Structure 1
Amino acid sequence: MTLKSDLHPPTIVGDGLAELSERLRKPLMAYFRRRSADPAEAEDMTQEVFVRAMRREGETDVRSAEAYVFTIAANLARDRARTRAARHAGRHVSLDVLVAGEAPFDLASEDSSAETVLIERERLRQALAALEELPERTRDIFILFRVEKMRQAEIATRLGVSVSAVEKHVVRAAAHLARRLR
């Protein structure tokens, strides 16, 4: 005797992608939020899981749609982490090292003269010292905005403040740095 389930193995679409999305969206968002401080990225990654599941529809015999979706989610999280690590490898230097005047070797270009390198290191030291004078929240917001290139709305969401507050912190920090570095 052949069972109906043996003739037609379950698929993501067969289980109802819309129903599956509705049932798993919150758990997936929570999964990605634990791995990213950015709610927009968690939403994007959740959506990407369902896009990947739709692309594979019909190619895979899915016995457990939930396990399959979370396997996609785990692979996506791993891919994003690898990409992020590769993109940022070697770009960050400890603020403590720079403030102490111990500039890393890669700050100097081979084409730079020794005098230019020393002048640029001093300017960097002054800028970092000026940043250290700012209140912690203002400094953090400024660094997220100018160095990490985050949007003000993302910063506001991440820190639980209004976009207007983020704008004010950025302006305050920029004005302080302009005064100190003249």
Structure 2
Amino acid sequence: GYEVTTNAGWHAAYDRNGQSVVQLFLLDSPTTPNPEWNYFKKRATVDCDKDHTVTVMDDNTLFGVFLVKYCDATDFAAKASRTKNVASRLQSLLDAHLNTQGVKGQFPCQIIKVVGNTTQAEFHYTVPCAKSQQAAVISSLKSTCKHPHLINTIIHENRRYKHDSGFAGSSSSSSEGGKFLFSMLI
């Protein structure tokens, strides 16, 4: 069972474990490949117990940071809507969790910045919250971090960038360590 993906002339096959089996580039493709394009061999992850912190910024604001490993931070810097989509998912999951806990109110999450590199992304966010509700919201944020819909949204937005980019700025056709096999497909 192999998964096959196609992107701007690239055809890649991956085995069940996400290991790259073969990558082919169509030589007659109108664009050249970006040597940076290669999905991580591991799925993006957040260790919510170790890599997610939520602190009280002031009497009316919480500040949080979570680190996503195997995620390209530059993808989120390239287009603000990707970060906004992650913030919307975080907020909807937080609202749902708080409703199950009986906590009423509006708690809009805003991701204020994403920092990192091509291997990890650190999402910094704020949540306005009255002092009397901060403990409940912090607890819910910790639980929300572990929800699979949050990481799936991040993965979707991260991969969407790879498909949207079209490699317009790339002019390299490097084989970089023999990773790429250049051939014509019939």
> In proportion to residue count, which structure has more strand?
2
The structure whose RCO (Cα within 8 Å, separation 6+) is larger is 2
Give the greater-gyration-radius structure (CA). 1
Q: TM-score, normalised by structure 2?
A: 0.26
Q: TM-score, normalised by structure 1?
A: 0.27
> In proportion to residue count, which structure has more helix?
1
